[in-house]
Amino acid sequence: MAKDNVDLICDISELAGLFERSHSLADFLQSAVSIVAYHMRAAVCSIYLYDEQTEELTLAATQGLKPESVGNVKLKLGEGIVGTAMKDLQPICEGHGSANPNFKRIEGIFEENYEAFLAVPILLRGVMRVGVLVTQDPQPDYFHINDIKALRAIASQLAVVIENAKLLMSLHEARKQTTPAAAPEHSPAMVSFLKGTTASSGVVQGTAVILDGHGYDVLTVAADDETSPYTLEDFNLALQESEEQLTELQRHMEERLGDVASLIFNAHLLILKDMGFSGAMRKLIDQGTPADRAVSSVVNDYISLFAKSSNPRLREKVLDVKDLGHRLLRNLQQHGEDHGDYAGQIIIARELLPSDVLKFAAQSVEGLIIVQGSVTSHISILARSLRVPMVFVEKPEILDIDEGTVILIDANQGTVFLDPSEKILRQYEPLIHKEEDAPPEVFPETFTRDGTKITIHCNVNLLSDMEFARQNLAEGVGLYRSEFPFIVRDEFPSEEAQKLIYEKIFAGLPDKEVTLRTLDVGGDKKLPYHQHLEEANPFLGLRAIRFSLKNLPIFKQQLRAMLRAGHEKNLRIMIPFISSVDDFLAAKDVLEACKKELADEGVPFNPSPAMGPMIELPAAVEIIDELAQESDFLCIGTNDLIQYLLAVDRTNESVSSLYVCHHPAVLRAVYRIINAAINNDVDVSVCGDMALNTEMLKFLIGIGLRKISVDPQHIPRIQSFIRELHTEEARQHARKLLRFGTLREVNRFLSERSD
């Protein structure tokens, strides 16, 4: 019997829909097994949960077996097919389950009626045992390779929800032994202006929301002693409004950002529905505590427990709890007047995870101020793609200002005004309330004044960037940063989940060339759920291709997903951080192995994608001819190339002034790369910020570059510049720049041109 398409049951929005209708973990799991059984056309679907202390699996939900068996059927690690799948951390698919030597028949649950057996471990971060997802059917040999892939994709999503639920339940005992945390007194900080570093541009005004400060986060309410007007009825309404808003936010984010929005509000909803949370608030209200103070007291209690926990995953939930408290109080105090979001507010935090940036953007935050010394590239790129102004400052005293303080952020200049004067507000009013300009005219192709074709592709960070790519007539995707679905989620995205994302990239620009870069993590881009070594210098450590070659199962899943999504498409696969021909050849060998696997499985895929290295290390420049001979294309990542050539950490404000794209060493290295590509008849492009600088773009075109990739919002400006440029003028410009041996000479030449 034909089953539903794998894509359908892997669609995370369906799991999100189940979650929003559930009132407990047990309710959610029961709904999950029912819908999985339906899509798989399987007679039975069951979920077993694993207890690390007893090393025992317990049947937690089932569709098809005897309902009374839930909670009563228990298997030791390694016992039966289910226990064996859990022990070995591998799926087991049997056409005749009873023929498996590990099969264990359990009397009285009607299992004897089902012959086909498929058990898939539910694993967190690929290794942590959570449970087992099982399907069974009377028809022998009923389950096949696609069913294993489908259940693996669902299991990875179940793992995150179950972990959050378990973490929450583990707090209940600890909470009974603590007293609510009192909010410390905040003394206003005597500052009015701060200079920081721009992470994402824009000018916004709003009121301050402080997300962390004195030791751990606390939620405050109005500091008067008058009796609060809010009742139990008001609280129940605020609770209902909050749940409806979060559900709608999740649904909206799945539609807009299906690549990174995977159940991002599931922790909020779990906590909200937990009786230890909302029930404790009701109890305080019944005892006479005003509703707003009951909310604040319980939220502070949970914040304290989360912040002091030895479990790092629990500590990461601190902002989720405070965010939820913020929503409850806003809904309680302003019924019908807003949506509990951060519209009109600016968040100030010591540190944010990429998932936090995503959540706050979804909740209409005006801007973000981060109190730490360096601009981490991943959350900066994320904020830019989400169009949220963000500034990094090094003044921790901003965490001491009163909530509600008026703040003006000029993220174009990296400045922050606290409680700005009327004069400053008037000066900035035209920028704050700037009307959208008419979209500039763009053309489907770009030519210089003398008719030389320059191809403009776009860099893509999130699926939402594809809308701007289409609007600005990008001729293809020159760089898709595939790490964001890894960084923002709570778990490695499965092969199926990645395939769906890549397919949406191709669908965004049909019939265009699409370059997918393999996972680039390391440096300041760490996976919070993956155990990583503490490295003294992570920028020189286990980064990008080094990580992938050390973690082959992850690398192969990604390459398989790219090959499958690129079936009958113009697919290019880019390998980052290549320092030797050997690394690149090793990556090619893994790609060939993936092709063979897919061919053996009879799965459609792209048999001949173009493959090329990202040139961003000095070592790659030194062997550029050899790399060009082994490659289908070269792509110059100027951001990292400049950083490593000049030994300047571009995220370090102390030395950031030394990070210059027009340094003679940079100009000569880029010339050498492009010249090698031309001599070896290999396509070459630039995807770094160097192409956004018009003087440098003129240089690049002058030395023979004919393809660039930029963030889509920059395409109109760059196209307009190129259309006014003559290639002979660009060649003369490049020749002069290449003659200079000192930065002083280059600076003088460029300043004379700008006069």
Distance CA 707, CA 713 (A): 17
DSSP 8-state assignment for residue 60:
E
Q: Which long-range contacts (CB under 8 A, 24 or more apart) does 588-594 make?
A: 588/630, 590/549, 590/552, 590/555, 590/556, 590/559, 591/559, 591/563, 593/556, 594/556, 594/559, 594/560, 594/563
DSSP characters over 625-659:
HHHHHH-SEEEE-HHHHHHHHHT--TTBTTTGGG-
Region of residue 561 (phi > 0: left; psi between -120 and 50: alpha; otherwise: beta): alpha
Residue 378 annotated as catalytic: yes
Of 247, 256, 544, 490, give the one whose Cα is nearest residue 353.
490
* Four-CA torsion 549, 553, 555, 559, nearest 10 degrees: 140
Of 379, 308, 386, 319, give the one whose Cα is nearest residue 711.
386
Query: Which candidate in 39, 268, 326, 378 is catalytic?
Result: 378
Q: Are 57 and 49 in contact (CB under 8 A)?
A: yes
CA 46 to chain CA centroid, Å, is 30
Q: Name residue 55's amino acid.
A: E
First to last CA, the chain: 75
Q: Name residue 375's amino acid.
A: V
Query: Which candidate in 339, 687, 714, 733 is catalytic?
Result: 687
Neighbouring CB atoms inside 10 A of 428's CB total 18
Q: Which two tokens stand for residue 552?
A: 């082959």
Residue 661 annotated as catalytic: no
Q: Name residue 669's amino acid.
A: A
Partnered with residue 574 across adjacent β-strands are: 517, 612
Tell the burial category of 206 from Cβ atoms under 10 Å away from its Cβ (0-12, 13-18, 19+): buried
Neighbouring CB atoms inside 10 A of 286's CB total 10
Neighbouring CB atoms inside 10 A of 503's CB total 17
Write the CB contacts of 225 (distance below 8 Å, at least 6 apart in sequence). none
**Parallel/antiparallel/unpaired status of strands 193-195 and 197-200:** unpaired
Distance CA 694, CA 733 (A): 12
Tell the burial category of 127 from Cβ atoms under 10 Å away from its Cβ (0-12, 13-18, 19+): exposed
- Token look-up 């009742």 returns 231
Length of the chain as a residue count: 755
Helix (H, G, I), strand (E, B) or coil at 526: coil
Q: Name residue 585's amino acid.
A: L
DSSP characters over 436-484:
PPPPPP--SS-B-TT--B-EEEEEESSTTHHHHHHHTT-SEEEEEETTH
Neighbouring CB atoms inside 10 A of 649's CB total 18
Which residues carry out catalysis? 378, 687
